[in-house]
Amino acid sequence: MPISKSLRRACAITCLMALTLAGPVAAQETTSPPREPAKSVLSIELNRVVANEAGCRLGFVTQNRIGSDLSKTAFEIVLFNPEGLIERMLVLDFGAMPEGRTKVREFNLPNAPCDSIARILVNDVSACEGEGVAEGACASALSASSRTDVAFGL
């Protein structure tokens, strides 16, 4: 049975309309918005505070996401007592921090009972070394948090 001329014309118009409508949709699916560059972060989390016979042990979890391995890192920290007074200033050497890795570091604080520490401040970056690491990269990427009752921040 032959197809009438009007039926062929209707089919052709329908096909053209479908292609016209589908064209922009297909283009939208392949176009994505520009991505923002990943933010550099050097995170230090105070994960635990444990009393021991010598004083107090602080446990930190660190993550280096600044884009480069760090061969040496150290931070000047300040311990505050419950009254908000400075108890002690010291430098904690966190050592190497490979890019993209999570590391745990623990530090014993002799003659510092844990209940005398209410707040810990990262006062300064004492060392931040690595190939291609710009000056100030660690300080600008630094992030501090605490999972303990002791406040920890910048």
- In the prediction, which pLDDT does 10 show? 54
Reduce the DSSP state of residue 109 to 3 states and report it. strand
- In the prediction, which pLDDT does 134 show? 87
* Residues of the chain with confidence (pLDDT) below 70: 1-38
- In the prediction, which pLDDT does 70 show? 95
pTM for the whole thing? 0.72
What are the residues facing 144 on neighbouring strands? 44
* Structural element, H or E, at residue 19: helix 5-30
With a CB cutoff of 8 Å and minimum separation 6, the contacts of 85 are: none
Q: CA-to-CA distance for 117 and 120, rounded, in angstroms?
A: 7
- In the prediction, which pLDDT does 135 show? 86
Q: CA-to-CA distance for 120 and 104, rounded, in angstroms?
A: 18
- In the prediction, which pLDDT does 68 show? 92
Backbone φ, ψ for residue 86 (5° rounding): -65, 125
- In the prediction, which pLDDT does 153 show? 93
* Each residue's pLDDT tens digit, 34-57: 555 557 789 999 999 999 988 999
